[in-house]
């Protein structure tokens, strides 16, 4: 039975690979390993990445691409120090990625074309709890949820904030970004 986020080979060919030079990270949920990479081309259905990636296991991976977000996927091929990743994205995520690629060179106007919603800037002291029970003080920077904190748990780590389950999805120069999970 075909899942709704499976991509047919005809649909994969429909998406053009766009050359990019985007920093990113690959996270392997099975092992907890995280490694930096460079995305050299990107499409709504996959990406080519390079870097010191080691020998990734044959399992699911998560790609965090700066400016494009998070992609769940699998390794489709390996050659010459590069990996091809096939994404397991919904049609909504593929459409959003196509839109991001279309507007990637748009001039900065203070308002990102790549966000679904505008960020509401706040300056609120808060805290989040890590899986090990430790509580980390932080300053809520916006409601996207971007936090200013001195302690940056690894990407993929589950934390809770305000009694809600979250996952660390990226690091930035002042802290971390969280995504609420179910």
State residue 105's pLDDT score. Answer: 55
Count of C-beta atoms within a 10 Å radius of residue 173: 5
Query: 143 falls in which pLDDT band (50, 70, 90)?
Result: low
Q: Evaluate if residue 121 carries a pLDDT over 70.
A: no
> pLDDT tens digits, residue range 151-181?
888 888 888 887 778 888 888 778 888 877 7
Least confident stretch, 93-97, 119-123, 135-139: 119-123
């Amino acid at each position: 039975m075909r899942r709704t986020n499976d991509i047919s080979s005809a649909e994969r060919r429909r998406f053009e690979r766009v050359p990019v030079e985007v920093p990113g990270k690959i996270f392997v949920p099975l092992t907890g390993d995280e490694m930096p990479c460079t995305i050299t081309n990107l499409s709504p259905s996959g990406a080519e990445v390079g870097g010191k990636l080691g020998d990734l296991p044959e399992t699911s991976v998560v790609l965090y691409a700066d400016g494009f977000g998070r992609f769940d996927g699998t390794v489709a091929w390996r050659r010459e120090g590069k990996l091809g990743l096939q994404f397991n994205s919904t049609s909504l995520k593929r459409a959003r990625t196509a839109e991001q690629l279309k507007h990637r060179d748009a001039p900065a106007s203070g308002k990102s074309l790549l966000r679904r919603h505008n960020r509401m800037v706040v300056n609120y002291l808060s805290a989040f709890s890590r899986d090990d029970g430790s509580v980390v003080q932080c300053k809520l920077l916006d409601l996207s949820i971007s936090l200013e904190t001195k302690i940056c748990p690894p990407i993929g780590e589950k934390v809770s904030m305000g009694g809600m389950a979250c996952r660390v999805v990226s690091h930035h120069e002042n802290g971390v970004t969280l995504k609420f999970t179910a």
